[in-house]
Structure 1
Amino acid sequence: MRVLTTTHQELTLTPLAASDAEAVHELLQANREHLMRWSDYSGELDTSVQQWRDELGDGSDLDFGLRLDGTLAGRVRLIDHHPRYGLGYWVAQAHTGRGLAAAGVRAVIVHARDALGGSDILAGVSLGNAASARVLRRNEFRSVAVFDTYERFHLPLNDLGLSSVAAARL
């Protein structure tokens, strides 16, 4: 199992797998109001434990659980459009304000660049969600567009906007 380390000593990221289904479901339910405040998580909130087991399967290089001393505290996920990726993340309300999302996103950025050969990451933040926008700005994302309900951010994974493999060939 791939483990991503972070700048927070107690925080690691591991691929979410079927064995995490109950913990994911419980954490989402416990954070329903917190998550729905800024985005539409109704699909995830309506997903049953069995559906989570089926979806998560054996784990993926794209979907990670944020773990504080081994306990699930959130999620960071890449959406595959290789070599570009979308990014989604959330942290349980009890763990916000500690830099965990920023550290988790940073670990996934490095993973996307170095292990997956990614060239760019895009993320969207609901307008008014200043904390989430700060997470992206701390990780050097730049705002590239503002729409009616959200702002889009972009991060090139190297100066050329190429995957690490393609950039190494130059």
Structure 2
Amino acid sequence: MDLSWLKRILFQLEDPDQRRLVPRQTDNYLFIEPFEHLSAGEVLFTSGSGGGRPISCPHDVVTAASTVLAQSRYADVARKLAAYGGVERHVVLVVDSEKDPTFEWLRNAEPGEVDQLPAPTLATDITHLWITPRYIPGLTIAWSAGSGWMGTEWRWGHPVEALAAWHDPACPDDHSLVKRN
């Protein structure tokens, strides 16, 4: 069994200048995370993702977000965007990995890891999709047809509070009767 890749990765993890270049996932491993509490030369190996949760896949994040927006209870999102108009019509989906572990990938992902994500399946009235974790830190990803996916850090305070402060057009629908999961 050739473990030369492991030696190379371990040396990279030891070097503070190289640590950020180590990919979070490769064909050789499903997940790697440097822990600051480990001393130089210490390595922690685990089996599985811990806690019985599957390791989330970046493609699954896009699929899950598209599925959320396709639910009938969110059909008014695209309709309101169309009524409001404008060339760009953004949807910001604030996700919680405690409620759906698929979104856990955002907690450890790096901006450069979004290049290979598939385009989301969206209603035609949605031109831009943002997916951000409810609890930061974590990676926020943004998609548009023109530029594809980009990864960034959420810079506007707590996502729920920031979005509540935005001046959105009034919604004529009564959402108080909508059952929440």
TM bin (shorter chain): under 0.3
Normalized per residue, the structure richer in strand is 1
| Structure whose alpha-carbon radius of gyration is higher | 2
TM-score (norm 2): 0.26
